[in-house]
Structure 1
Amino acid sequence: MISEFHQLADKVTRLAGLADELRRENAELRLNVASLRAENAELAQRIDEAYRRVSALLAQIPADSGEKEETA
């Protein structure tokens, strides 16, 4: 009977250790997600800026009238 209690106590101790380990891992993952979200937002902002700059440059290019000059 006493050995069963010792086995149960060991299992509870291991379970508590696993729970602590999972809490630490979860906290690390949350930090990682927050960092990746910030990086993603920065990259999205850079893409948006590049899109605006390219659009502004394209707007400065004269439109092609569709007619080609013939050289004789």
Structure 2
Amino acid sequence: MSSEFHQLSEKVAQLAALTQSLRRENADLRLNVTALTTEKVDLSRRMEEAHQRIEALLEKLPVAIAATPTTPAINEEETA
């Protein structure tokens, strides 16, 4: 009987230690999720800002000359 009680006591102690370990790990994972969520928001904001800057630059670019129908075609013989 004493041996069974001792084994049960050890298993309870192991379970308590495992529970504490899992709680610490869970707390660490929650901190990581919070940090990664914050980083994701920051990166999304930076991507949107970059997108807006690229759009602004594209609007400033002149229209491509080849796209206008009045531009004469360049003959390969003339450029050689």
**TM-score, normalization: structure 2?**
0.81
Q: Does 1:62 align with 2:62?
A: yes
Aligned to 2:21: 21
Q: Which has the higher contact order (CA 8 A, sep 6+)?
A: 2
Q: State which structure, 1 or 2, has the greater radius of gyration over its C-alpha atoms.
A: 2
5+ unaligned residues in a row in structure 1: which ranges? none
5+ unaligned residues in a row in structure 2: which ranges? none
Q: Which contiguous aligned blocks of 4+ residues in structure 1 show a shift greater than 4 angstroms?
A: none
Identity of aligned residues (%): 47
How far apart in 2 are the matches of 1:69 and 1:3?
101
Question: Which one is further off, 48-57 or 59-68?
Answer: 59-68
Query: Aligned-pair RMSD on alpha carbons?
Result: 1.6
Q: Does 1:37 align with 2:37?
A: yes
Residue 40 (structure 1) shift: 0.9
Residue 63 (structure 1) shift: 1.9
Residue 70 (structure 1) shift: 4.5
**TM-score, normalization: structure 1?**
0.89
Question: Which one is further off, 41-50 or 62-71?
Answer: 62-71
